[in-house]
Chains A and B, each alone.
Chain A
């Protein structure tokens, strides 16, 4: 059981700056994110794309913005829980009890949802029958490559993940690589390597095909793939791997009794609190009249939510507004003063 003054869900720019604001005013916090790295959409969707509308930063990429925010947190000791998804939030007296997919639990008076457009989940195959084999014969990531040894593996996708695994597994498996078009978006060197292995017969390549159906009993036996011209092919397959990137899903947040509007959470604009006392929403995931989905708005929302947390975390103290330029309290917390 981890006790903390505030738990932040989401390690994107808004979550990171909210943590900064909490620590600055003297509160503890921990951060949970479903991704295995810090940065949220900035890192997952546009690490290399320049952003031009961060105040006082004329131009920076998603990755640079993330690194700067991490640097800004350096004076503070903040615990990150990456690769964990928050599954359950339950009221426990004056606190919220929060459980993650890795079995971690947190007890905290304040939960700040800085979840962007939800958690990133792998995109899945379209045919419904695929669910039956998921995590048995059909995977969206590789945890243990040894299970594929000597087997026939059908890999779908046209990016680096699909290509890298096709190349790696072709060493000791029979590989079918299936992609919906002739062009691959992976790194050129990887594409070239794959083409070589196709020439030498190590990889069977099927382009302009997509998965149509899966067959088998307990175990997967074969798959049907369909060409753009509707021609079907049946391929014997022990395993199927799909690499179609990630999609954002609201996920378990939908079940926490919050007022939702499409994929966003309704909040007030004083505390950025939801309809549940002590649960706040900031950044892209929150909604109020006039809401702008800009990173700078997330910073503002996080700063206000952090002050609101103070009341519930330190009910017997009074929050006093201070500037980092002059307050010796704040400068001490920032490590700039003894």
Chain B
């Protein structure tokens, strides 16, 4: 279990306990957090689960796999701290993670 805080573009905070093994994307979609579309369902094929990860957390997360940056090229307003939330697997180690949701996904 990890507490993940999703911060919407309007600065609403949604803090959710997400089960280990799920992705940060699934934690949002299953709990109706607005702003994460995840059109492709987690296949790293669409870039609509794009989030910004707070700097201190960004370096602690497991590194991006091949292909994630290619997909982030297509995201709406990507930044250096951009990630696809479908590629961040929840574990005890990321308890307390905060992610910011962009103003839109496309």
Contact residues of A with B, CB < 8 Å? Answer: 41, 45-46, 49, 117, 123-124, 126, 157-159, 179-181, 183, 185, 210, 228, 244-245, 247-249, 263, 293
- Docked-complex contact A158 and B73, CB < 8 angstroms: yes
Name the contact of A248 in the complex, choosing from B46, B76, B78, B79 (C-beta under 8 A).
Answer: B46
Q: How far is the CB of A45 from chain B (nearest CB, A)?
A: 4
Smallest distance from the beta carbon of A139 to chain B beta carbons, Å?
A: 17
List residues of B (52-106) whose CB comes within 8 Å of A's CBs. Answer: 69-70, 73-74, 76-80, 106
Chain-A contact segment, one of B3-11, B14-22, B37-45: B37-45
Q: Is the CB of B106 within 8 A of A181?
A: no
Contact between A126 and B45, CB atoms less than 8 A apart: no
Indicate whether A45 sits within 8 Å of B77 (C-beta atoms), given known contacts A248-B39, A293-B41. no
Which residues in A have their C-beta under 8 angstroms from that of B37? 263
Residues in chain A near residue B79, CB distance under 8 A: 228
In the complex, residue of chain A having the shortest beta-carbon distance to the beta carbon of B76:
A126
Residues of B within 8 A of A183 (CB): 69
Would you list 10 pairs from A and B whose C-beta atoms are within 8 A, ordered by A residue?
A: A41-B40, A45-B43, A45-B45, A49-B45, A123-B106, A158-B73, A180-B78, A245-B73, A249-B106, A263-B39
Q: Which A residue's beta carbon lies closest to that of B66?
A: A185
Kindly state the separation between the CA atoms of A49 and B43 in the bound complex, as whole angstroms: 10
Chain B contacts for A247, CB-based, 8 A? 39, 46, 48, 74, 106
Contacts from B to A (Cβ < 8 Å): 37, 39-41, 43, 45-48, 69-70, 73-74, 76-80, 106
Q: Is the interface of A mostly helix, strand, loop or mixed?
A: loop
CB-based contact B74/A244 at 8 Å? yes
Please judge, given known A-B contacts A45-B43, A45-B45, A247-B106, whether A126 and B73 are in contact too, CB under 8 Å: no
Known contacts A46-B45, A185-B70, A247-B48: A123-B76 contact under CB 8 Å: yes
Chain A residues, Cβ within 8 Å of B77: 126, 210
Q: Distance (Å) between the CB of A228 and the closest chain B CB?
A: 5
Q: Can you name the residue of chain B whose Cβ is closest to the Cβ of A246?
A: B74
In whole angstroms, how far apart are the Cα atoms of A150 and B25 in the complex?
Answer: 46
- The docked-state distance in angstroms from the alpha carbon of A228 to that of B79 is 7
Residues of A within 8 A of B46 (CB): 45, 247-248
Q: Contacts A185-B70, A248-B46 hold; do A45 and B78 have CB atoms under 8 A apart?
A: no
Smallest CB separation, A158 vs chain B (Å): 5
Query: How many angstroms from the CA of A244 to the CA of B70 in the assembled complex?
Result: 10
Q: Which residues of A contact B40 (CB under 8 A)?
A: 41, 45, 117
Partner of A159, one of B41, B43, B47, B73: B73
Contact B43 A181 (CB under 8 A): no
Q: How far is the CB of B100 from chain A (nearest CB, A)?
A: 15
Chain A residues near B73: list those with CB within 8 A.
157-159, 179-181, 185, 244-245
User: In the assembled complex, which residues on chain A have CB atoms less than 8 Å from the CB atom of B43?
Assistant: 45-46, 49
Which residue on chain B has the smallest CB distance to residue A117?
A: B39
